[in-house]
Structure 1
Amino acid sequence: MTGPLDGVKIVDLTHALAGPYCTMLLADLGADVLKVEPPSGDLSRLAGPYPDDDSTHAFGGYFQSVNRGKRSVVLDLKTPEGAATLRTLAADADILVENFTPGVMERLGLSYESLTADNPRLVYAALRGFGDPRSGESPYQSWPAFDIVIQAMAGVMGITGTEDGSPIKVGPGVADIFPGTMLALGITSALYEARGSGKGQFVDVAMYDAVMSLCERIVYQHSYTGIAPKPEGNKHPLLSPFDIVPATDGWIAIAAPNDNRWRRLCALIDRPDLADDPAFATNDKRVSRRGVVHEALSTWTRDRTKEDILAHLGGHVPVGAVRDAAEIMADPHVKARAMTVALEHPGSTQTFDVAGQPLKFSRTPAIPTRRAPLLDEHGPQVRSDRTQ
């Protein structure tokens, strides 16, 4: 069985995290993704971690996670030969994806307009920090961008942090991962349209734009209230209870802002007085008394283990333990949903897990099974195909 994008050909010029994550999603979905790398390879090949018995260091866990299932060919696009080969590949592709800074492809003679003149059905996708001028010229257009910069500029760090206002970066690279996911949606939408019209188009996602859309709450809050939201720790400005509370062996998340859930929670923690008190009867009233709500929950949880709390509240109100990676990997849910995938690692006798594919299909499953490629591993085949 094959994924829903079986037969789709993608030329992947991306590097680092955001772009490769996008094309990894498409590879998981069954597309043939040809990763075009410079002679030195994608710099992320140099990032670890590496297995203890890895004799080659062809790539580490970072590269494996977001480049699995792809093929690799080395092309020096600064040479006439490399550019000509890329042009040939694009002429036969459904999609081309790149995340260079604006103007790079134009200087190489490989602009969107040039490539689509050869292949009108090509979907050309670009992922940049502040977008492409074709879609709207940003004052930051030429600025380089990384995850932490976009988290700061587009709103994540403005509402993430301690209640005294100190900003904290979100742990996952959301300013890479979310724009990459958005671009994958844009690509598949454009591909669907092209199957009917016969014409491709330019698809552009700015990391800034995607992360601003991820922070959509701050936009309507500011528009409706005139107030710019600030960091509030683990509390929620609009919902209560929506908290992280202590256990004897860690921390627990409890969210029961719905009035019926709130009353059920009060019964479970033996606080009928709160359930019957009109001052806590609605979510809005509980938000205005969040400190009291938090203390009531903490008083009940702080003398109990995470396991005891989950056994008591689980299935009745939304509740979950704050977990580390080891705990997550041992969770039976993760196994049942195939949310880790073991891949071989060149130079090592072992297999190693990467995060699985959350998209589940009943008839055309998206199951990553192939490791990331060695540098130019498929180059001989690609070059042979081109000369035939």
Structure 2
Amino acid sequence: MAATGFGALDGIRVIDFTQMLAGPFCTQLLADQGAEVIKIEPVEGEDSRGAGPFRPEDELRAFGGYFASVNRNKRSIGLNLKDPAARDIALKLADSADVVVENYRAGVMDRLGLSYETLRERNPRLVYAAIRGFGDPRTGNSPYSEWPAFDVVAQAMGGLMQINGPDRFTPLKVGPGVGDLFPATLCAFGISSALLRVARTGKGQFVDVSMVDAVLALCERTVHQNSFQGEIPHPEGNRHPLLSPFGLFRAKDGFVTLAAHFDAWWVKLAGLIDRPDLATDTRTATAAARVANNAFVYEQLELYTMQRTKKELAAVLGGKIPFGPVNNVAEILEDPHFAMREMILKVDHPGVDRQVAIAGIPLKMTETPGRIASRAPMLGEHTDEILREIGVGIEQAESLRAERIIG
């Protein structure tokens, strides 16, 4: 059984029907805080197991880096949910659960006989959470409710791409899958909130997160800009439309970021780079003037930053104004901050003799810190022990496995 007792969600059982990125990241957030997460997969395994990347020496290829990064601290059982016997097992697991999470398209779980209404009737305390591209009709209809969606669709339709890009005419996808990861984080927050209500009232509820809605919330600035200024925001490159300086600057060996949009910081920055004239120049002396003369501000600052390396700039500016170098992953691995904060952790990996690195737990808590207790599971690695917990014996399990009902 997966280790518990190390987080604020110790004692919470989560039945995880999720796949790919958004759902698994949500349930991993819960697992990192001590919840017992049982991952239900098709008997052939969920699609992301084969997504890679794989270590060159890994001949087993049970799963790659994609799956490893968002499925730690979970147990796996393989079920062919189209079979009534497997569905009965899923129902029994849901009966014992505090939370069910799924990220299928609307209606899929209903057709499988595992709808919220079915599970709630059997288990009134259940918190049932769904992450879908355009939400669930239970909380609000959408003309796109039947559309499939991935991160790139959410980024596009939620408005993120339209404010991200090198210039006002070129929308650009954000590198990380924020169209999955941010909805997943909101869903974990929603689940935790619903569990608090269960503790107070004994009543569960349906938690619905639309990926597109979540991205719009992430881009909240665009809504108030349009309402207050009558503008349709567009990509601003690596600069901020309302604050200056606030963005990216070229260094001799890469790029750095800095923010000195408040007047006090601007005066300090002017002194640090030996340009006291910038503190009094009418084009730069006030916050409004700096926004109006944004190009001039960046031009003057880059006269300084381009002549120095990232380390040299850190020695002058670090800790004095908001400043940070643009790090690649190799630089992150060498940075003592991430080591001291335990943000790069090593875990075992099946088929590989040495441990592999994954991102650590960003949420730090003093009394219930959470931890990475186990690597991501192999397909059906815990099927037999999970079945034993709900009263399915060895002979019955062997029969089910022979018929490809379990895996």
Same fold, TM-score > 0.5, yes or no: yes
Computed over aligned residues only, the root mean square deviation of the Cα atoms, in angstroms, reads: 0.9
Give the corresponding residue for 1:252.
256
Within 2, Cα distance between the matches of 1:261 and 1:179? 34
Give the corresponding residue for 2:352.
348
Among 66, 70, 77, which residue is 2:74 paired with?
70
Q: Deviation of residue 167 (structure 1)? A: 1.1
Residue deviations 1:203-256 (CA, integer Å, cap 9, x gap): 000000101000000010001111110001001001000121111111111111
Q: Give the number of aligned pairs.
A: 388
Give the corresponding residue for 2:290.
286
Q: Deviation of residue 281 (structure 1)? A: 2.4
Give the corresponding residue for 2:151.
147
Give the corresponding residue for 1:320.
324
Normalised TM-score (structure 1): 0.99
Within 1, Cα distance between the matches of 2:372 and 2:92? 28
Note the residue ranges of structure 2 that are not aligned, 5 or more in a row.
393-407
The alignment status of 1:179 with 2:150, answered yes or no, reads: no
Report 1:1-388 matches (<5 A).
2-387=6-391
Is the 1:343–1:369 Cα contact (8 Å) retained in structure 2?
no
Is the 1:102–1:132 Cα contact (8 Å) retained in structure 2?
yes
Within 2, Cα distance between the matches of 1:167 and 1:370? 40
Give the SS at the match of 1:130: coil
Aligned sequence identity (%)? 53
Residue deviations 1:256-298 (CA, integer Å, cap 9, x gap): 1111000000011111111022432221211000011000100
Q: Deviation of residue 109 (structure 1)? A: 1.2
Residue deviations 1:179-222 (CA, integer Å, cap 9, x gap): 00000000000001001111100000000010100000001000
Within 1, Cα distance between the matches of 2:75 and 2:342? 24
Q: Deviation of residue 132 (structure 1)? A: 0.1
Within 2, Cα distance between the matches of 1:146 and 1:383? 33
Q: Deviation of residue 164 (structure 1)? A: 4.2
Within 2, Cα distance between the matches of 1:192 and 1:161? 40
Within 2, Cα distance between the matches of 1:104 and 1:243? 44
Within 1, Cα distance between the matches of 2:222 and 2:127? 33
Superposition misfits of 4+ residues, deviation over 6 angstroms: none
Q: Deviation of residue 177 (structure 1)? A: 0.3
Is the 2:245–2:294 Cα contact (8 Å) retained in structure 1?
yes
Note the residue ranges of structure 1 that are not aligned, 5 or more in a row.
none
Within 1, Cα distance between the matches of 2:233 and 2:216? 14
Q: Deviation of residue 369 (structure 1)? A: 2.8
Is the 2:168–2:234 Cα contact (8 Å) retained in structure 1?
no
Is the 2:14–2:98 Cα contact (8 Å) retained in structure 1?
yes
Is the 1:341–1:369 Cα contact (8 Å) retained in structure 2?
no
Residue deviations 1:15-50 (CA, integer Å, cap 9, x gap): 000000000000000000000001111100001111
Q: Deviation of residue 55 (structure 1)? A: 2.5
